[in-house]
Homo-oligomer: A and B are copies of this chain.
């Protein structure tokens, strides 16, 4: 049993030190720059945006995580350093080189991350000025400030921490994330940093991260856009001396499930913070040919502006869900024999309207903060769940004013 106190504890991860500072990259009096140091012997994995106009910081971090082992991560909010051509590359290289010299670390062991406005030059001077302070201030208990320093349009900071015991060893997992707008299939405007003190080799760590991302960050959708800077980083410091590869299957399962729950909770926080969202919609696509097939249909529903406005209006206008299913890019010519539920209200059974369907009951289900849609495609046994939000007036307000 986890005590209430432990539930809210942010556990430090042995091997990880963090510091955060106000660098005035965009706004004053807000933390916007963090440094993370990673101890010798750690392994680090990353999953990155597939945007074709991604920031040069992503190119650098992806390369360094692939071929080297990062010793420092430097993360800023307020400016994405994207859309700037050669000058953007020059700017990030300049402060990475400075950090490399000040810490006596190879330039390939430094990974930069940025989030914020696109198309404006980042202040290299502000970052360099704060690097000496950040190095001095490194501390193992700074996860909370780290989570605050990466916020942009987020309305709350996102942090999750867990302690588990396997093979008589305390294993800790702590993670932070940022994201609210532009959340969709491939992780848009999202940063996530998760660490554990378990020892995991690079090959296993890569597999674990890729699998978990697929069912968590890549399964959330707020508005259908993908950003230039999305990154999801997983670090295993190995400081516990317990090795993942030596664990029995039961212990492996406990660890993977706990890690997956960290990612699920962070995903849920991001969806809850969806710009202007008034409710969370869980779309369960079941009895489908394949996992990918179910995901395509789920995403088609989740990204339909007409479905999202109907949910905002709390109107069980299921015709829009049907139209979105029809709009999906699956390989069938027709989709006719599916079942459709809103909550526990069966609307369509094998494509026919159910005699028991009660629209007033469906309406009261839609008035809740969490609404479930279930679609049984009835052509297989695979499933996929997508989380999304409604589309409200507030979304327009926030996004019509983000820059100013």
Chain A window 384-396, contacts with chain B (Cβ cutoff 8 Å), 1 for yes, 0 for no: 0000000111011
Cβ contacts A10-43/B at 8 Å (1 or 0 each): 0000000000000000000000000000000000
Interface positions, chain A 44-103, Cβ under 8 Å from B, are 51-54, 80, 82-87
CB pair B402 A391 closer than 8 Å: no
Q: Whole-angstrom distance from the CB of A87 to the nearest CB of chain B? A: 7
Stretch at the interface among A139-147, A200-208, A251-259, A330-338: A330-338
**Contact B53–A323 (Cβ < 8 Å):** yes
- Across the interface, A322 reaches (CB within 8 A) one of B83, B86, B332, namely B83
Q: In the complex, what distance in Å separates the CA atom of A344 from the CA atom of B351?
A: 52
Interface residues of A in 145-203 (CB under 8 A from B): 181-182
Q: Does A293 contact B (CB under 8 A)?
A: no
Whole-angstrom distance between the alpha carbons of A399 and B400 in the complex? 19
One complex includes copies of this chain to the number of 2
Residues of B within 8 A of A312 (CB): 396, 400
Q: A85: nearest residue on chain B (CB-CB)?
A: B352
- A209, CB-defined interface residue at 8 Å: no
Give the chain B neighbours of A106 by CB distance below 8 A: none
Cβ contacts A328-355/B at 8 Å (1 or 0 each): 1010111110000000000110111100
A124 at the interface (CB under 8 A from B): no
Q: Is the CB of B118 within 8 A of A353?
A: no
* Cα of A119 to Cα of B319 in the assembled complex, Å: 5
Q: Please name all residues of chain B whose beta carbon is closer than 8 Å to the beta carbon of A318 when the two chains form the complex.
A: 83, 118-119
* Chain B residues, Cβ within 8 Å of A327: 51-52, 225-226
Cβ contact within 8 Å between B322 and A181: no
Binary flags per residue of A231-275, CB closer than 8 Å to B gives 1, else 0 = 000000000000000000000000000000000000000000000
Contact A82 B352 (CB under 8 A): no
Decide if A118 touches B306 in the complex (CB within 8 Å).
no
Closest to A350 in B: B85
B85, B228, B323, B395: which contacts A323 (Cβ < 8 A)? B228
Q: Closest residue to A311 on the B side, CB-wise? A: B400
Q: CB within 8 A of A305: which of B225, B227, B319, B322?
A: B225
Quote the shortest CB–CB distance from A346 to chain B (angstroms).
13
A383 within 8 A of B: no
**Separation of A164 and B320 alpha carbons in the complex (Å):** 42
User: What per-residue 1/0 map shows which CB atoms of A307-321 lie under 8 Å from chain B?
Assistant: 001101101011110
Listed residue (A223, A225, A395) with the most chain B CB atoms within 10 angstroms of its CB: A225
Does A401 touch B at the CB level, under 8 Å? Answer: yes
Question: Can you name 25 A-B pairs with beta carbons within 8 Å?
Answer: A51-B323, A51-B327, A52-B334, A53-B335, A83-B318, A84-B353, A118-B319, A119-B319, A119-B322, A119-B347, A182-B306, A224-B303, A224-B305, A225-B323, A225-B327, A228-B319, A306-B399, A309-B400, A310-B399, A310-B400, A312-B400, A313-B399, A315-B403, A393-B397, A396-B396
Q: A225-B305, A312-B400 are in contact. List 8 more A-B contacts (CB 8 A).
A: A52-B328, A87-B353, A119-B319, A182-B323, A224-B304, A225-B320, A228-B326, A395-B396
Binding site for B on A (CB under 8 A): 51-54, 80, 82-87, 117-119, 181-182, 223-228, 303-306, 309-310, 312-313, 315, 317-320, 322-328, 330, 332-336, 347-348, 350-353, 391-393, 395-397, 399-404
